[in-house]
Structure 1
Amino acid sequence: MKNQEEIERQIDETLGALEGIGRAEPRPFFQTRLESRMQQRYAPLPKFMARPAFVWSFLALIVLINVGVVLRYGGRNTQAEPQDASSFAKEYGLNNFDSNI
């Protein structure tokens, strides 16, 4: 019983100490210093690259390059002829047993 009363007294003291605490305030000009630091660290692109005209022009250029590559190389037949062991041996001269003697 005495132990329970001691615990409750400590809880009341702790809660009483918290009642007088005010809200924490940052140092002056904290917001401007934080914004400056974030701009220095997380702004790898120059300002003109963030403009919509530049972004759309860059995307259009990428699309045009892709279309050009597809038109130039897309019509070619990329499938190789099937190759069996005899054609492979003939290609590399492996069908003659006496060629390496």
Structure 2
Amino acid sequence: MKKTLIFSENQMEWQKHPQFPGVFVKPVLKGDEGYGFRTSFIKVVPGGEILPHTHDVTEVFYFYKGKALVLANGENIEVSAGDLIIAPAGEEHGTKNLSDEDVYLLANFEA
């Protein structure tokens, strides 16, 4: 039987993203725990960028601090804390921090 999980962002260490410059992650769920998701806290430093990319699954990401430009539907759209983005499988998307503050988001993928 699965149990409710509680994670504190403050108890995890930031890891440099292997592909995206100025991007750091704190993996929460890696997809093999049986909950059906892969989830990570993500930090994009000023000038950092999650380069345009696609996935084989839907990604839902929620911005909880800062402002950024998100590539969605072929356009760059300004987003800020409180905005939720749903990128369907195969849809190109990305995030660019053009501000002078860190941007924080929570990313969820189907596992």
State TM-score, norm by structure 2.
Answer: 0.13
Could you say which structure has the higher strand fraction? 2
Higher RCO, Cα 8 Å, sep 6+ = 2
Larger Rg: 1
